[in-house]
Amino acid sequence: MAGTSSAAPAAANVFAYSDRQIEQAAAMLWPGAVVRLGVHTPSVTAYVRRVQVDGRALFAKVSLLGLSLVSVLRGTAGDWAQVRAAQVAYQGSPGTLLEREARGLDILREEAGVPACRVAGHQNGVLFTEQVTGPTLADLLAKDPQRTGELMTRAVVELTGLQRPAVARKVDEAAITERGIGSTFDRKFNGISGPTYLRKAGQAGDMLSTLVLRLRRLRPTPAAGHRPVVYGDLKPDHVVFPDGADGRPVFLDPGLGRGRPQADPAKLISRTVLGLIASAPDLVTADATARGIEEFTDALTADLAPGERAEWLRHLVVLWLMDTTNILSTYLTSPPDLPLPEHAGKLTARTERVCGLLETTSAGLAAGTGPRAVWQLALAGVVKATNR
Ligand SMILES: Nc1ncnc2c1ncn2[C@@H]1O[C@H](COP(=O)(O)OP(=O)(O)O)[C@@H](O)[C@H]1O
Ligand SMILES: [Mg+2]
């Protein structure tokens, strides 16, 4: 039966199948080329592997049914035979997730003037992109936390071209709705499956259940009127600086769509804070990063009137907490045979600290404390959560 662990596909089967798909797709795209599979990049979302095609360095990505790997390996889409059969049908249908992702990468570069990794090919459910080399925003923040505010602001400013009218029209035809903070939160926690799901999160499950209820009440009503185009998956790992910290960044793994203006900053802040907590930094680093994050939100809200600024921050904080709840619970409930990114293990070892931060920050909002005060307390809480 779908959803039970006995029927869930094994990671080894999914990976072996994906490798064959990558080899077959490469052979179709580049007949006669020498194809070498390189190392696997652990991800909870897609199967990603480096590949050399006639010496050219590429990344190959396979997404089963447009679902996250965690969902597939948990048995959400049935057993392995069912998933494979469904994938054949999915791949042949228009508008698959990777097709929209490839389109999004082209829109970024060609319509929005945003540097993004180049699509090398898209075939048989496999997306090949050209490797971008250089330190990521995550690397730079760890190395030079004093530059946090400036680097985060520059990353977001670099995405300004997304608001061109021609871009919005094209994005609407290829929107990736699957990866939004709100849609992910709903998918994970809504309805009858939510409580069952969180029970798998161990001791933290109870705390996260309470938090989910609170966040649901705090969540802003759907925005009326203009909804800007958002990058959609703005993580510090997805922003690469090939020419170092002073050069222009290049973006990876977009999830273009419409959203709130706070969606991209919220994800960037959420993942930066989790990276910081996972890295167990010294106090100076933690302090500089928290200060830089405040500088970043100050820059983004500089033109707003005080009342607007408070509302902006309130939505930012709610989205931040929702994203952190999403990813923490994904890591905590991930099937044991799925290799996780390096920071995930370090983070889950500090689950209590993250939950403490989520709890106090959301309690502040729920109690009606002003958003600016909540935001300042949250940033102080970030520093406290990193304390070794
Ligand atoms: N073209 C690329 N250049 C450099 N690194 C890449 C590229 N594509 C993927 N990666 C690396 O692999 C990771 C996972 O790939 P990504 O496209 O983000 O997959 P997912 O959808 O699973 O998040 C990225 O965070 C990045 O570290
Ligand atoms: Mg990614």
Q: Mind listing the pLDDT tens digit for each residue in 130-188?
A: 999 999 999 999 999 999 999 999 999 999 999 999 999 999 999 998 889 999 999 99
Ligand 1 site, residue 101, Cβ cutoff 6 A = no
- 119 and 169 belong to one structural domain: no
Best residue for ligand 1 mutational test, from 108, 253, 271, 338 (most atoms within 8 Å of Cβ): 253
Q: Can you give the CATH number for the domain in which 289 is found?
A: 3.90.1200
pLDDT per position as a tens digit, 357-368: 999 999 999 999
* CA 317 – CA 323 distance, rounded (Å): 10
- 123 and 202 belong to one structural domain: no
The pLDDT confidence band at residue 192, using thresholds 50, 70 and 90, is: low
- 244 and 311 belong to one structural domain: yes
Residue pair 82/14 in contact (Cβ under 8 Å)? The answer is no
Task: Give SS3 for 273.
Answer: helix
- 157 and 110 belong to one structural domain: no
- 58 and 196 belong to one structural domain: no
- 324 and 289 belong to one structural domain: yes
Query: Which of 110, 130, 150 delimits the end of a domain?
Result: 130
Report the predicted TM-score, pTM, of the whole model to 2 decimal places.
0.96
- 278 and 165 belong to one structural domain: yes
* CA 151 – CA 320 distance, rounded (Å): 19
Ligand 1 site, residue 245, Cβ cutoff 6 A = no
Query: Which of 79, 109, 130 delimits the end of a domain?
Result: 130
- 190 and 316 belong to one structural domain: yes
Domain interval for residue 355 = 137-386
* CA 49 – CA 62 distance, rounded (Å): 9
- 189 and 304 belong to one structural domain: yes
Total domains in the fold of the chain = 2
CA of 263 to the centre of ligand 1 (A): 20
pLDDT per position as a tens digit, 282-304: 999 999 999 999 999 999 999 99
- 103 and 160 belong to one structural domain: no
Q: Pick the ligand that lies closest to the CA of residue 127.
A: 1
- 196 and 295 belong to one structural domain: yes
- 104 and 221 belong to one structural domain: no
Ligand 1 site, residue 41, Cβ cutoff 6 A = yes
Best residue for ligand 1 mutational test, from 14, 39, 45, 48 (most atoms within 8 Å of Cβ): 48
